[in-house]
Amino acid sequence: MANQFNILQLFENAFGTRVPETRFEIPPADSRTLKSSIGTPLYGEDIYGREFFMPITITYIPKGASAGVDYHVPFAVVSISCRKVIVETPLVERTGTVKELVSADDYDLNIKGIIVRPDNNWPDKEIMQLEELFTVNQSIVIRSALTDIFLKGYYEHHIVIKRVNLPANPGVEHAKPFELESVSDAIFTLDVE
* Total residues belonging to the chain: 193
Q: Is the pLDDT of residue 157 over 50?
A: yes
Structure confidence at residue 124 (pLDDT): 92
Q: Determine the straight-line distance between the first and last CA of the chain, rounded to whole angstroms.
A: 66
Structure confidence at residue 184 (pLDDT): 94
31-71 pLDDT, tens digit per residue, is 788 888 888 888 888 877 888 888 999 999 888 888 888 98
Nearest to 82 by CA among 161, 179, 153, 184: 184
- Residue 1: which pLDDT band, with cuts at 50, 70 and 90? very low
Tell me the pairing of strands 69-72 and 57-60.
Answer: antiparallel
Structure confidence at residue 4 (pLDDT): 66
Global confidence as pTM: 0.77
Task: Check if the beta carbon of residue 53 is closer than 8 Å to that of residue 45.
Answer: no
- Residue 82: which pLDDT band, with cuts at 50, 70 and 90? very high
Mean pLDDT of the chain: 86
12-21 pLDDT, tens digit per residue, is 887 787 766 6
Mean pLDDT, residues 177-182: 96
Instruction: Report the b/e string of 23-39 with b at 16+ CB within 10 A.
Output: eeeeeeeeeeeeeeeee
**What would the DSSP string read from start to end of 5-64?**
--HHHHHHHHH-----SSPP--PPPSS---B-TTS-B-EEE-TTS-EEES--EEEE--TT
83-140 pLDDT, tens digit per residue, is 988 988 888 888 889 988 788 889 999 999 999 888 888 999 999 999 999 999 889 9
Structure confidence at residue 56 (pLDDT): 92
Q: What does the longest C-alpha to C-alpha distance in the chain come to?
A: 75
What are the structural domains, with CATH classification, of the chain? 37-184 (2.40.30)
Structure confidence at residue 2 (pLDDT): 52
Q: Rounded to the nearest 10 degrees, how much is the dihedral formed by the CA atoms of 165, 171, 174, 177?
A: -20
What is the C-alpha separation between 89 and 110, in angstroms, rounded? 33
Structure confidence at residue 102 (pLDDT): 84
